Amino acid sequence: MKKELKQLICAITTFVLMMPNFSVLAAGSNDFNPNYIISDEEIQNSQSMNREDIQAFLGQYGGYLAGYRDEDLNGVRRTASDIIYRAAQEHRINPKYLLVKLQKEQSLITAKTPTQKQLDWATGYGICDSCSKSDPTLQKHKGFGTQVDSAAAIIRWYYDNLNQEGWIKRTNTTYSIDGIPVRPANLATAFLYTYTPHILGNQNFWNLWQEWFNQVYPNGSLIKAIDSPTIYLIKDGEKRAFKNMSALVTRFDPKFIISVPQTELNNYTTGSEISLPNYSILKAGSKYYLLDNDFVRPFASYDVVRQLGYNPDEIVEINSADISSYTLGKTIEGKTKAPLGQIVRIKENNQLYYIDDTSFYLITDEQIASINFPNLTIEKTDAAQLNNLTQGEPIKFKDGILFGITGSNKIFVTEDGKKRHIVSEDVFNGLGFDWNNIIWVDQFTGLNHTTAEPLYLRRQIQIAESTLDESESPVSVPVNEKMIRTPENKTTFIGKKFDTNINTYLVADYDTNEILAGKNIDDQRPMASFTKAMTAYELMKEGINLSRSQTYDPADHKSVYHKFRIAEGEKIINKNLMYSALVSSLNTPVKMLVDSVEENENNFIKRMNEQVKAWGLSKTSFVDVTGEDLGNLTTAREYLEIYKKATKNIDISKFLGLKSYQYDEILDIDGKKNHYDNHSNALVNELSLNFNIINSKTGYLDEAGAGLAMTIQRKTDNKKFVIISMGNPDYSNRFDEPKRLANWTISQF
């Protein structure tokens, strides 16, 4: 791959297929900053979409790729969404980046009948402005699977080879791009210009990203500016203001209102005002109408109005302009008994249905009835009432409803009869949703809502200025200058040598504890969150009851890096606190857990130190239970002993082996009871690894660098190894070297 890329020094440019509907978009183009197109964090966020999310995205735009299959890089026939997902995971590049590339280069997201040429050169990889696609030397780049993989691989290669290849564009260097001086503010922007050395092509990329992946509240959302009383309904990119509360409460429950910055409201064009209460009887000239959500249904005559028992005092006189924004609905005839329809429960099978004039519709969950039809009461009837009616599609939740499917940790929001996955807890909180508004349904009801594209946050441009901390969500910087390093003249190795810039590594046979390879394994280093494994061991040793709960007290459970979303007085089961402590590597849950077995934390720390001394570990010491303090010290050799003893506990190994978790607080105060997260080790969710990860623990402090301890298993013979890396200076790519070390291990021993 590297030899190939070096030959493409001048050829990694693109031919941009200019489609009228996706050329430089007028909307938002004035905000395009050629010096900063996308953040390093975002372009490398390989976990932003799973396979289902990608497939839903392709299906949402209805293009050819939604049903397309082709050979991947290895000749295996797969769906387009699977090819995109695998390439993103393999090279740790955001699948959203690949989706934008496919549209920008060949309009493949929206194209319904693309040519074979569009598919063969899907991402424009390997083709320069003056190249011929029939050139025999370029045929190795041809094919959808190869193109997608190459587009992801080249960005990863740029990150990995920045310091080796002088021709790759860099930050804080001014380049002339199409005659315009451009000074990339971050690596991602520099790499985009290396791949596509044109302003127009990268502005197209930016426009597509803004349109597709900026925060967009779904249809049915109720939002208001933080300092304004005006409430808006979001519908098809417009914000429609409610003129009065009666117009709002006859349509929606006010508990769904979300407060947002005024800048967020500015992203929507202003639509027509909503001024009339829902289900009003309207009179325009000599005609009468029933206002039914987005429809106005004409009455056949005034006699029908009287026949249905409407009071003349309830009729609202309007002019034709007042109803121009509504769609004309079905006429209400004299034979219509219930203009708003009926909710009935069939006596024979206890099943719910919605009935209108001519049809009946299954309601799979009673919550749909109460949310969609709050003004209708359930009536009991016989199955015979359905005999002369036509069966329609089952009723789905109206827009803007939050729901989860029992047994799954995914949360969705409904839009246009479909469900959109809210991709993470950060997105949920960032959008301002309320955890109390989530309803839970069975699998049948959930699957009845087909999956649409997932929901994301709008990303604000933030160029990194601060340093990293133990939150393990740092800004992206290429090198950690604070990290403690072993001088080169004092660096020592054991066994076979693995070439890496990581300060310390250790490879051990799991069964025998034999150290097979190592670098600086007897040098003391700050433990950072590696400490949590020892804390968990001591908690288990002292008999912590995982079924009991702990109440959060900010005075007692104070941590330096408090990233845990919890309010004073809230209660969480200890088992769930373990998830947050060991899987997410959060500090505050550790404090709460220790408090459940020992009121005086210093006494607990003393017992941790006594334990490691009893094991004969003379270079290990603890001063806190989380790893926040630099005084928590160990060596790779001694941490091998700690990690092995901790993970011999079945529960600890299980916690550290989870890919993700989801739980609710048992006492919620702030309305945000649900917690869910992926493992802080991104490798556990990576596909196509040559090894299985049985358990793992991450750690980070500026002075410690990034660390990763793992128990891995070779797939061919199930042989297990423990791999410990400490002092990785490259946080942004902190899993690259441990992965390479693991692959080296299973091939060497």
Domains of the chain, by residue range, sit at 2-213, 281-328, 342-391, 488-748
Q: Which of 451, 477, 585 is nearest to 528 (CA)?
A: 585
Calculate mean pLDDT across residues 171-193: 90
Amino acid 256: pLDDT: 92
How many other C-beta atoms are found inside a 10 Å radius of the C-beta of residue 693?
A: 21
Task: Using a pLDDT cut of 70, give the percent of the chain over it.
Answer: 90
Q: Which of 88 and 467 is assigned the larger pLDDT?
A: 88
Amino acid 132: pLDDT: 59
Calculate mean pLDDT across residues 399-423: 89
Tokens for 595, please give them. Answer: 């408090």
Cα angle 63, 69, 72; round to 5 = 120
Pairing of strands 451-455, 418-422: parallel
Pairing of strands 660-664, 674-678: antiparallel
Q: Please, is 47 exposed, middle or buried when counting C-beta atoms within 10 Å of its C-beta (0-12, 13-18, 19+)?
A: middle
> What span, in angstroms and rounded, lies between the C-alpha atoms of 464 and 423?
24
* 58, containing H or E segment: helix 51-61
φ, ψ (nearest 5 deg) of residue 35: -85, -15
Please determine, for residue 21, whether its predicted confidence score (pLDDT) is greater than 90. Answer: no
Q: How many CA atoms lie within 13 A of 748 on its CB side?
A: 16
Calculate mean pLDDT across residues 379-397: 92
pLDDT 10s digits, 145-171: 999 999 999 999 988 888 788 889 988
Helix and strand totals (H; E) in the chain: 22, 36
Calculate mean pLDDT across residues 185-190: 89
Least confident of 188-197, 367-376, 424-433, 614-623: 424-433
Amino acid 327: pLDDT: 84
> What span, in angstroms and rounded, lies between the C-alpha atoms of 250 and 248?
6
Q: Which of 375 and 622 is assigned the larger pLDDT?
A: 622
371 near 398, Cβ under 8 Å? yes
Pairing of strands 175-177, 269-270: unpaired
H helix intervals, 73-169 = 80-91, 95-106, 116-120, 144-161
**DSSP-derived secondary structure for 411-439:** EEEEETTEEEEE--HHHHHHTT--GGG-E
> What span, in angstroms and rounded, lies between the C-alpha atoms of 343 and 150?
55
Amino acid 128: pLDDT: 59
Least confident of 210-219, 450-459, 495-504: 450-459
H helix intervals, 512-661 = 531-541, 574-578, 588-595, 601-614, 636-647, 650-657
Spatial CB neighbours of 39, under 8 Å, sequence gap ≥ 6: 186, 188, 459, 461, 462, 476
Tokens for 342, please give them. Answer: 């009926």
Q: Which of 397, 400, 422 is nearest to 412 (CA)?
A: 422
Please determine, for residue 29, whether its predicted confidence score (pLDDT) is greater than 90. Answer: no
Q: How far apart are the first and last CA of the chain?
A: 26
Tokens for 545, please give them. Answer: 């009851």
Please determine, for residue 73, whether its predicted confidence score (pLDDT) is greater than 60. Answer: yes
Amino acid 537: pLDDT: 97
Q: Which of 328, 332, 383 is nearest to 356 (CA)?
A: 332
Q: Which of 292, 265, 266 is nearest to 277 (CA)?
A: 292
Q: Measured between alpha carbons, how far is residue 548 from residues 234, 554, 576, 592 in Å?
A: 43, 19, 10, 12
H helix intervals, 319-387 = 366-372
Per-residue buried b or exposed e for 250-286, using 16+ beta carbons within 10 Å of the residue's own CB: bbbeeebbbebeeebbebbeebeebebbbebbbbbee
> What span, in angstroms and rounded, lies between the C-alpha atoms of 331 and 462?
55
pLDDT 10s digits, 615-651: 999 999 999 999 988 899 999 999 999 999 999 999 9
> What span, in angstroms and rounded, lies between the C-alpha atoms of 580 and 227?
35
Amino acid 526: pLDDT: 94
Please determine, for residue 30, whether its predicted confidence score (pLDDT) is greater than 60. Answer: no
Calculate mean pLDDT across residues 315-331: 81
> What span, in angstroms and rounded, lies between the C-alpha atoms of 37 and 39?
7
Amino acid 133: pLDDT: 61
Q: How much is the mean pLDDT over the chain? A: 85
Spatial CB neighbours of 541, under 8 Å, sequence gap ≥ 6: 611
Q: Best-predicted range by mean pLDDT among 43-57, 209-223, 305-319, 439-453?
A: 439-453
pLDDT 10s digits, 708-728: 999 999 999 999 999 999 999
Calculate mean pLDDT across residues 598-611: 95
412 near 403, Cβ under 8 Å? yes
> What span, in angstroms and rounded, lies between the C-alpha atoms of 306 and 334?
10
> What span, in angstroms and rounded, lies between the C-alpha atoms of 723 and 73?
30
Amino acid 2: pLDDT: 38
How many other C-beta atoms are found inside a 10 Å radius of the C-beta of residue 290?
A: 23
DSSP 296: E
Calculate mean pLDDT across residues 413-421: 91
> What span, in angstroms and rounded, lies between the C-alpha atoms of 124 and 133?
10
Spatial CB neighbours of 599, under 8 Å, sequence gap ≥ 6: none
Cα angle 17, 18, 24; round to 5 = 135
169 near 190, Cβ under 8 Å? yes
Please determine, for residue 427, whether its predicted confidence score (pLDDT) is greater than 80. Answer: no
pLDDT band at 107 (very low <50, low <70, confident <90, very high): very high
pLDDT 10s digits, 671-698: 888 888 889 998 998 877 889 999 999 9
Calculate mean pLDDT across residues 553-571: 84
Q: Best-predicted range by mean pLDDT among 55-59, 265-269, 326-330, 743-747?
A: 743-747
Amino acid 305: pLDDT: 84
Please determine, for residue 325, whether its predicted confidence score (pLDDT) is greater than 60. Answer: yes
CA R_g for the chain: 30
The class level of CATH for 488-748 reads alpha beta
Cα angle 108, 109, 114; round to 5 = 35
Task: Using a pLDDT cut of 90, give the percent of the chain over it.
Answer: 51
Amino acid 106: pLDDT: 93
Amino acid 470: pLDDT: 34
> What span, in angstroms and rounded, lies between the C-alpha atoms of 368 and 584?
35
Tokens for 114, please give them. Answer: 């693309």
Amino acid 577: pLDDT: 95
> What span, in angstroms and rounded, lies between the C-alpha atoms of 17 and 111?
12
**DSSP-derived secondary structure for 109-135:** TT-SS--HHHHHTTT-TT--TT--TT-
Amino acid 400: pLDDT: 93
Please determine, for residue 233, whether its predicted confidence score (pLDDT) is greater than 80. Answer: yes
**What order of strands is seen across the sheet that includes strand 451-455?**
439-441, 402-405, 411-415, 418-422, 451-455
Amino acid 476: pLDDT: 35
